[in-house]
Amino acid sequence: MIEKSFDFVILGGGVSGLGFAKRVAENGKSVLVLEKEAIVGGLSRSIEYKGFYLDFCAHRFHTKNEKLLNEILTLPGLKMEKHIKKSRAYVFGKYCKYPFEVQDLLRAMPITKSIPAAFSFLWNMFKKRFTERPNLRSFEDWFAYIYGYKLYEVMAKHYTAKVWRHDPREISADWADQRLQGEDLVKLLKRIVRKIVTLDFRSYDLKDDSLAPDGGPFWYPLRGIQELPDAMARAASESGTEILTSARITRVDTKSRTVYYEHAGESHMAKYDKLISTIPLHTYYNLQDRRDPAVEKALSGLKYMDIIFVFLFLDIPRVSNDHWLYFHDKDIIFNRAVEFSNWSPVMCPPGKTSICFDITSFEGSPEWEMSDKDLIERTKSDAIKAGYIEAKHIEDALVTRIKYAYPFYDLDYKQKLDKIVSFLETPHECLLGRTGIFRYNNSDNSIEMGFELADKMLAGENASMHTYTVKAVSY
């Protein structure tokens, strides 16, 4: 058995672990990162397939934290291009701006729905001025409070149920708080009035560029998001971090502060002063030596959601100009479509394009059990039905499945999480990152969390990221 000692051992080489490693290594600490996959990056990694670069859905980098942005954009060897977000949603058989603009949506809706929805939205705005904010427990409470129940039904109810495979009444309002920025209603009203005054009622067509862009800027590398974790890993390594991929962790002994793992056919033990776990909570609990029935009960009720990606490869340069297209219709199997030729010209070979369709699922659910062949056939037929692609252009397809993709916030996830975190975290063991601490957040938040934890530990604090809040929502 090969034995070594480190100031920090990090379980998982996603962007949170790499951010933490970079920061502490730059401050002279010895660091080991153990990653189970053959490459670093975790959820923010990419794959190469027959000349195409593919992300898991596509990862835009965006943050309101200027210091963080500057540190990322100046990483040696990383070149990111600035984009303006373009996305639309397919609802009522039409493509509307996304995030929705109320006036677009009202026009796209059948009149029997649009009139009650308009009244519900206005009544809701009026009512809120004179009433106190109630306790918003579920996603449904949150959305209906912001937009009115009728618009909630159109804008969010079905899509949320489709994405999470749960009734939105069973999903915590925390998710909405973290995922969605409450619309600035004054801004929204100004936009509506401007559209009405200028009689701007154009048709909704996939090729119609005028509806987009609708969002803020973001950054993206040339050949997939993989270039970001790769650059972070390079920076951490240059400061002395040892990063081992294809590592199999077998045990964590918290009493002797030792991680046991296998790498390149050999058994190793690494002693640590502090251990940082960014891997799924259930996996970490099973690897470490302490046991508690109450924590096990809490863990059995806490779920991550899994995801399936169906990639289609087409013999045309472009299908639409959107970064994302959202499909609310529950009869369409996928939630979103991401066309990579819109992200960078070198993501696809010349004259070709590729699209990632994502299907959220829990292991064991009907979609998860479908064969790759059936998933491809269903995706193709739904995309053709929605008028998005034509069968004659599809050349090839690929299916990938990822476990632990989304922390699932049910109504009492917080109590369960508090119990688990307070048990697993000690002065020498700490949890970090979206997957590691079960926090629904973007990659910028994971990196920020890594830096923040590192800064606190370097200052000698016994820090925990359990209290980290997503300061700048970046979706």
Ligand X SMILES: Cc1cc2nc3c(=O)[nH]c(=O)nc-3n(C[C@H](O)[C@H](O)[C@H](O)COP(=O)(O)OP(=O)(O)OC[C@H]3O[C@@H](n4cnc5c(N)ncnc54)[C@H](O)[C@@H]3O)c2cc1C
The CA-atom distances, in angstroms, between 289 and each of 165, 292, 471 are 34, 10, 34
Q: Least Å distance between CB 250 and ligand X?
A: 10
Q: Least Å distance between CB 242 and ligand X?
A: 14
How far apart are the C-alpha atoms of 263 and 249, rounded to whole Å? 9
Nearer to ligand X, 120 or 283 (CB): 283
| Residues in 7-66 that interact with ligand X by CB under 6 A | 11-17, 34-37, 42-44, 56-57, 59-61
For 359-368, b where at least 16 C-beta lie within 10 A, e where not — what string?
bbbbeeeebb
Answer positive or negative: Cα dihedral of 404, 405, 407, 409.
Answer: negative
Nearer to ligand X, 37 or 372 (CB): 37
How far apart are the C-alpha atoms of 209 and 201, rounded to whole Å? 14
| Residues in 290-319 that interact with ligand X by CB under 6 A | 307
Look at residues 463, 16, 22 and name the one whose alpha carbon lies nearest to residue 237. 22
Q: Least Å distance between CB 450 and ligand X?
A: 7
Q: Least Å distance between CB 302 and ligand X?
A: 15
Nearer to ligand X, 64 or 202 (CB): 64
The CA-atom distances, in angstroms, between 263 and each of 12, 193, 291 are 14, 63, 27
Nearer to ligand X, 259 or 397 (CB): 259
Look at residues 305, 282, 301, 43 and name the one whose alpha carbon lies nearest to residue 166. 305
Nearer to ligand X, 148 or 433 (CB): 433
Taking CB under 6 A as the binding criterion, the range among 163-171, 190-198, 275-283, 339-347 that sits at the site for ligand X is 275-283
What count of other Cβ atoms lies within 10 Å of the Cβ of residue 50? Answer: 11
Does residue 279 interact with ligand X by CB under 6 A?
A: yes
Q: Least Å distance between CB 14 and ligand X?
A: 2
Look at residues 136, 145, 147 and name the one whose alpha carbon lies nearest to residue 175. 136
Map residue 336 onto helix, strand or coil: strand
Q: Least Å distance between CB 11 and ligand X?
A: 5
Nearer to ligand X, 140 or 367 (CB): 367
One of 212, 332, 435, 451 touching ligand X (CB under 6 A): 435
For 117-145, b where at least 16 C-beta lie within 10 A, e where not — what string?
bbebbeebeeeeeeeeeeebebbbbbbbb
How far apart are the C-alpha atoms of 160 and 167, rounded to whole Å? 8
| Residues in 329-388 that interact with ligand X by CB under 6 A | 358
Q: Least Å distance between CB 434 and ligand X?
A: 4
Compute and round to an integer the Cα radius of gyration of the chain. 23
Binding mask of the shown chain, residues 59 to 98, with x at each position contacting ligand X by CB under 6 A: xxx-------------------------------------
**Alpha carbon 187 to chain centroid, angstroms:** 27
Q: Least Å distance between CB 284 and ligand X?
A: 8
One of 215, 224, 407, 433 touching ligand X (CB under 6 A): 433
Q: Least Å distance between CB 296 and ligand X?
A: 18
Question: How many residues in the chain?
Answer: 475
| Residues in 146-205 that interact with ligand X by CB under 6 A | none
One of 283, 288, 342, 361 touching ligand X (CB under 6 A): 283
Look at residues 130, 120, 155 and name the one whose alpha carbon lies nearest to residue 140. 155
Binding mask of the shown chain, residues 392 to 421, with x at each position contacting ligand X by CB under 6 A: -------------xx---------------
Sheet holding 94-97, edge to edge: 94-97, 87-91, 324-327, 336-339, 353-361, 304-314, 394-407
What beta strand segments (E) does 16-113 contain? 31-34, 46-49, 52-55, 80-84, 87-91, 94-97
Q: For the chain, what is the total number of helices (H) and then of strands (E)?
A: 17, 18
Does residue 441 interact with ligand X by CB under 6 A?
A: yes
Nearer to ligand X, 17 or 148 (CB): 17
Q: Least Å distance between CB 365 and ligand X?
A: 17
Taking CB under 6 A as the binding criterion, the range among 98-106, 165-173, 233-241, 439-447 that sits at the site for ligand X is 439-447
Query: Are β-strands 304-314 and 353-361 bridged in parallel, bridged antiparallel, or unpaired?
Result: antiparallel
Does residue 249 interact with ligand X by CB under 6 A?
A: yes
* CA–CA–CA angle 439, 47, 52 (5° rounding): 130
Q: Least Å distance between CB 225 and ligand X?
A: 8
One of 46, 87, 124, 278 touching ligand X (CB under 6 A): 278
Map residue 230 onto helix, strand or coil: helix
One of 339, 443, 451, 468 touching ligand X (CB under 6 A): 443
Q: Assess contact for 269 and 259: CB atoms under 8 A.
A: yes
Binding site for ligand X (CB under 6 A): 11-17, 34-37, 42-44, 56-57, 59-61, 249, 278-279, 283, 307, 358, 405-406, 433-435, 441-444, 446
